Chains A and B, each alone.
Chain A
Amino acid sequence: MGHRGLRILALLASFTLVAGTGLVDPAAAQDKPRHGGELVFVVPSEPPSYDAHQEETFGLIHPMAPHYNTLVRVDPFDKTGTKPVPDLAESWNISKDGLIYTFKLHRGVKFHDGSEMTSKDVKASYDKIIFPPAGVKSLRKDAYRVVEVVEAPDPYTVRFRLKWPESSLLLNLASPWNWIYKADLLAKDMHWYEKNVMGTGPFTFVEHVKGSHWVGKKNPNYWDKGKPYLDGYRAIFISASSAQVAAIRGERAHIQFRSFSPAERDSLVQALGPKITVQESPWDCLNFVSMHHEKKPFNDKRVRRALSLALDRYEGSKNLSKITLVRDVGGIQVPGTPWATPPAELEKLAGYGRDINANRAEARKLLKEAGAEGLSFTFKNRGIPHPYEPVGIWLIDQWRQIGVTVKQEFIEASAYHPMLKRGDFEVAMDFQCGFIVEPDLDLPRFLSTSDANYGKHKDTVIDDLFQKQARAMEPEERRKYLRAFEKRLLDEEAHVIYTLQWHRIIPHSSKVKGWTITPSHYLNNQLDTVWLSE
């Protein structure tokens, strides 16, 4: 009930967000899709292997997702990227106790080699993801700890039995990484998919020239009749962003599916005018400041709160959104999505209040109380131009306003993660990126027991709250626990300091229709709904 109201609110919010920045092409209803044409898009990096169960880079998803289907997927027309809709499963049913999920599969789905897809393929693929045999890597198996077993009682039914009820499982199964592979191929060689492509998706694999491009061709026997609209697609690998912009500007590519910076968007709009359409969305990515709880004075929560209070997030949002990929002030969920805290509520948290002078005065007071006046430390940051560097510069300037002197040290991107893992920092920039906006996927790293808890905070209250929200089947109850979790994480204990929500900007050729932006650059890449106008 409140859920529906929130959906409308979310829709309105996203519409205003979008309307404020230009125009968007609302996906389905307008013109009738035209068949034909080759979509050319740019991808900044290449896939290291071909197996989505083992990788987590968009460099794999962008060129390869069109070759595959998943059991369920995120609605490609939904801007919040949180609505599960059928893909290979045509319908599903959840038992009353929430422990049994039964999926009915489409019939007549064929792999690209002509063989039929049945439930045993789904079971084999999920067994590989959730219960990988020795020597097989599955990067996301921990997300499915709740699953006890996957069954295939008949060729067109798949059943998941859970150990406990989990409200997010359906959305979790819509993960863009859970490609359905062919059981026979997996039985012969579990590593086959690392170097080969065989799926049921709307496009078949033509070629991959390393360092150059990836080509896919329309699947004439696609099970979703009438689709895909495109004759094919071509992904060109270009790493330098200036060259990517040049490609779109020179009309050699239609779109880039990750994001461009505000300045790049402006230059494209200025150069191409009506030939360019801009879609924008808050991104399911966020930089937060991680403080090492075992190093003085960051073990004192007053110091941590002070550092958060010093930040004028609203002014920062206004300014930084002009030069880099951040914009909205958000909490633990992307603004505009079902579980996000409404802005009015958010302002009650430390550092989110509108009166920056009062906040900073309190920050100074806290520092004094904690005996940390004139605090000075080294802030470690990742050497990436957008948005790490600008946000880092902003942070240092903000902390200067409460008398804290910070020296910034940039660590090369590849050496960064090991540095965090070693705990070799006092204060460091970290990031939380999700592929689907869902608390069960976005928040586990903040648990005291998580391997990704680099700040080494120990807080049983927060662990408990997470557990409670994961098991809550009633939306209101879940929301209550999520608010409490957020307050504990960002306000009471200030374990981490959230900066600003990343902002996704996709300026693309106006010929591209049928593609809707979502907060995740891993979603909506199957290209079956995309078509090119004349």
Chain B
Amino acid sequence: MAINPAIDVAAEGLADTPHGGWRAAVADFCRRRPLGAIGAAVVVLMLAVAVSAELVAPYDPVAVDFGAMLTRPGVQHWLGTDAFGRDVLSRLLYGARTALLVGFGSALMGATGGAIIGVGSAYFGGKIDLYLQRLMDIFLSFPLIILALALVAILGNSIPNVIMAITIPMIPRSALVIRSSALAIREMPYVDAARAAGFGHARIIMRHMLPNVMAPYLIMLTAFLGQAILLESSLSFLGLGVQEPTAAWGLMLRGAAVDFAESAPWMAIFPGLAISLAVFAFNLFGDSLRDALDPKLRTL
């Protein structure tokens, strides 16, 4: 990701709470940025489904039923069944759980880890900055999927390991972006003034730097969410992510789904749509969030 020189310093930043509190802010958001609102709604829906999958799913996602293998979408199975007779809808709903778990897990840790490093690097500067930057550069040089591949090969195939494997490449990307925002603030005279006045590091970071990196942090987070879900599905597709019989969207696109792409297309279409929808929603929301948080735009 590139350094975004446009994320500027404004004293206002996020420290202002809008008039009327949070509820008004949300309403304002929905009204002014309908796309983002739709995105957010989809995200909330996914979360709800993932959490309540046991209640909502009509069948057990791992129950094999050869009598019903490869049935078309219909009354019994709304989205059809796969090669083992497992209900596609149920697997999709449980798959949301895996996707969000891996997605949120890695995005949160990746963005936060990167933020910590970015802010620290920018604030302390000097040798620390130099070394941290080199370290980040080194990890940045590996393409995402290659690093994830290697890490899964080392760590193994379980969900926590996959989360780790996706988090690690994300940290330097987040660090790079956050650092450049934090750097801009660092240059500001009032930081030096604060130091001169004797305020501690922690206080300065908390009070001045963090609020101003909130915007890029949130944007990175939403971008990572989409990327993590895609990366997880690519890894599953290659056979390196979550494993059978766990329900996961990328896994559903592998093997039998490709074989039967013509005779039983529902096996591949629905998981593909689910992935696209999820990434779509996260990105729309993230986009609108960025627009909303940009202090320059808020003055309009």
Flag B257-278 by CB within 8 Å of A: 1 or 0 each: 0111111000000000000000
| A394 lies within 8 A of chain B by Cβ | yes
Flag B60-99 by CB within 8 Å of A: 1 or 0 each: 0000101001100000000000011000000000000000
| B113 lies within 8 A of chain A by Cβ | no
| B125 lies within 8 A of chain A by Cβ | no
| A412 lies within 8 A of chain B by Cβ | yes
| A56 lies within 8 A of chain B by Cβ | no
A385 and B239 contacting across the interface, CB-CB below 8 Å:
yes
A322 and B69 contacting across the interface, CB-CB below 8 Å:
yes
Min Cβ gap B262→A in Å is 5
B245 and A396 contacting across the interface, CB-CB below 8 Å:
yes
Which A residues from 405 to 449 make CB contacts under 8 A with B? 408-412, 414-415
B259 and A415 contacting across the interface, CB-CB below 8 Å:
no
| B52 lies within 8 A of chain A by Cβ | no
Which A residues from 368 to 400 make CB contacts under 8 A with B? 383-386, 389-390, 392-394, 396-397
- Roughly how many angstroms separate A196 CA and B259 CA in the complex, as a whole number? 38
Stretch at the interface among A259-267, A354-362, A472-480: A259-267
Min Cβ gap A222→B in Å is 40
B153 and A383 contacting across the interface, CB-CB below 8 Å:
no
B240 and A263 contacting across the interface, CB-CB below 8 Å:
no
Min Cβ gap B72→A in Å is 16
- Roughly how many angstroms separate A264 CA and B261 CA in the complex, as a whole number? 9
| In-complex Cβ contact of A412 among B83, B153, B261, B262 (8 A) | B153
A267 and B157 contacting across the interface, CB-CB below 8 Å:
no
B262 and A267 contacting across the interface, CB-CB below 8 Å:
yes
A264 and B259 contacting across the interface, CB-CB below 8 Å:
yes
| A461 lies within 8 A of chain B by Cβ | no
| B256 lies within 8 A of chain A by Cβ | yes
With contacts A323-B256, A385-B254, A394-B64 taken as known, whether A412 is within 8 angstroms of B84 at the C-beta atoms is: no
| Closest B residue to A396 using CB positions | B245
Residues of B within 8 A of A410 (CB): 157, 239, 243-244
| A16 lies within 8 A of chain B by Cβ | no
With contacts A408-B245, A409-B157 taken as known, whether A323 is within 8 angstroms of B83 at the C-beta atoms is: yes
| A95 lies within 8 A of chain B by Cβ | no
| Closest B residue to A398 using CB positions | B64
With contacts A323-B256, A408-B243, A412-B239 taken as known, whether A263 is within 8 angstroms of B69 at the C-beta atoms is: no
B259 and A261 contacting across the interface, CB-CB below 8 Å:
yes
| Closest B residue to A392 using CB positions | B244
| In-complex Cβ contact of A263 among B64, B157, B245, B256 (8 A) | B256
Flag B15-45 by CB within 8 Å of A: 1 or 0 each: 0000000000000000000000000000000
Min Cβ gap B236→A in Å is 11
- Roughly how many angstroms separate A209 CA and B259 CA in the complex, as a whole number? 29
Min Cβ gap A301→B in Å is 28
Min Cβ gap A311→B in Å is 13
With contacts A408-B244, A410-B243 taken as known, whether A393 is within 8 angstroms of B256 at the C-beta atoms is: no
- Chain A residues touching B, majority SS: helix
Residues of A within 8 A of B152 (CB): 412
| B160 lies within 8 A of chain A by Cβ | no
B263 and A393 contacting across the interface, CB-CB below 8 Å:
no
Min Cβ gap B273→A in Å is 19
Chain A interface residue bracket vs B: 20 to 34
Residues of A within 8 A of B259 (CB): 261, 263-264, 267, 323
- Roughly how many angstroms separate A392 CA and B256 CA in the complex, as a whole number? 14
B263 and A267 contacting across the interface, CB-CB below 8 Å:
yes
Residues of A within 8 A of B83 (CB): 322-323, 390
Residues of A within 8 A of B69 (CB): 319, 322-323
Which B residues from 227 to 246 make CB contacts under 8 A with A? 239-240, 243-245
| A242 lies within 8 A of chain B by Cβ | yes
- Roughly how many angstroms separate A271 CA and B118 CA in the complex, as a whole number? 56
Min Cβ gap B268→A in Å is 11
With contacts A383-B239, A410-B244, A415-B153 taken as known, whether A263 is within 8 angstroms of B260 at the C-beta atoms is: yes
- Roughly how many angstroms separate A143 CA and B258 CA in the complex, as a whole number? 40
Which A residues from 303 to 329 make CB contacts under 8 A with B? 315, 319, 322-323
- Roughly how many angstroms separate A261 CA and B66 CA in the complex, as a whole number? 18
- Roughly how many angstroms separate A392 CA and B62 CA in the complex, as a whole number? 13
| In-complex Cβ contact of A389 among B153, B157, B240, B255 (8 A) | B255
Residues of B within 8 A of A323 (CB): 69, 83-84, 256, 259
- Roughly how many angstroms separate A386 CA and B239 CA in the complex, as a whole number? 12
| In-complex Cβ contact of B64 among A261, A385, A397, A414 (8 A) | A397
Min Cβ gap A404→B in Å is 15
- Roughly how many angstroms separate A397 CA and B70 CA in the complex, as a whole number? 18
- Roughly how many angstroms separate A261 CA and B152 CA in the complex, as a whole number? 28
Min Cβ gap B61→A in Å is 12
- Roughly how many angstroms separate A315 CA and B69 CA in the complex, as a whole number? 14
B262 and A386 contacting across the interface, CB-CB below 8 Å:
no
A409 and B256 contacting across the interface, CB-CB below 8 Å:
no
| In-complex Cβ contact of A393 among B240, B245, B261, B262 (8 A) | B245
A393 and B260 contacting across the interface, CB-CB below 8 Å:
no
Min Cβ gap A410→B in Å is 4
| Closest A residue to B251 using CB positions | A389
- Roughly how many angstroms separate A415 CA and B256 CA in the complex, as a whole number? 24
- Roughly how many angstroms separate A393 CA and B64 CA in the complex, as a whole number? 8
Min Cβ gap A93→B in Å is 50
Min Cβ gap B129→A in Å is 38
A266 and B263 contacting across the interface, CB-CB below 8 Å:
yes
- Roughly how many angstroms separate A270 CA and B69 CA in the complex, as a whole number? 20
Residues of B within 8 A of A261 (CB): 259
Residues of A within 8 A of B244 (CB): 389, 392-393, 408, 410
Residues of B within 8 A of A386 (CB): 255
| Closest B residue to A262 using CB positions | B259
| Closest A residue to B67 using CB positions | A319
| In-complex Cβ contact of B66 among A270, A319, A412, A415 (8 A) | A319
- Roughly how many angstroms separate A409 CA and B152 CA in the complex, as a whole number? 14
- Roughly how many angstroms separate A415 CA and B155 CA in the complex, as a whole number? 12
Residues of B within 8 A of A397 (CB): 64
Residues of B within 8 A of A392 (CB): 244
- Roughly how many angstroms separate A352 CA and B14 CA in the complex, as a whole number? 71
| Closest B residue to A261 using CB positions | B259
Which B residues from 195 to 250 make CB contacts under 8 A with A? 239-240, 243-245
Residues of B within 8 A of A409 (CB): 157, 243
Chain A interface (Cβ < 8 Å from any Cβ of B): 241-242, 261, 263-264, 266-267, 270, 315, 319, 322-323, 383-386, 389-390, 392-394, 396-397, 408-412, 414-415
Chain B interface (Cβ < 8 Å from any Cβ of A): 64, 66, 69-70, 83-84, 152-153, 157, 239-240, 243-245, 254-256, 258-263
A-B contact pairs, 10 of them (CB 8 A): A242-B258, A263-B256, A323-B83, A385-B256, A386-B255, A393-B84, A394-B64, A397-B64, A408-B244, A412-B240
Please give 15 more A-B residue pairs, beta carbons under 8 A apart, in addition to A385-B256, A393-B64, A397-B64.
A241-B258, A267-B261, A270-B262, A270-B263, A322-B69, A323-B84, A385-B239, A385-B254, A385-B255, A386-B255, A393-B84, A393-B245, A408-B243, A412-B239, A414-B153
- Nearest first, the 7 A-B pairs at minimum CB distance are A263-B259, A385-B255, A319-B66, A410-B243, A397-B64, A323-B83, A383-B239
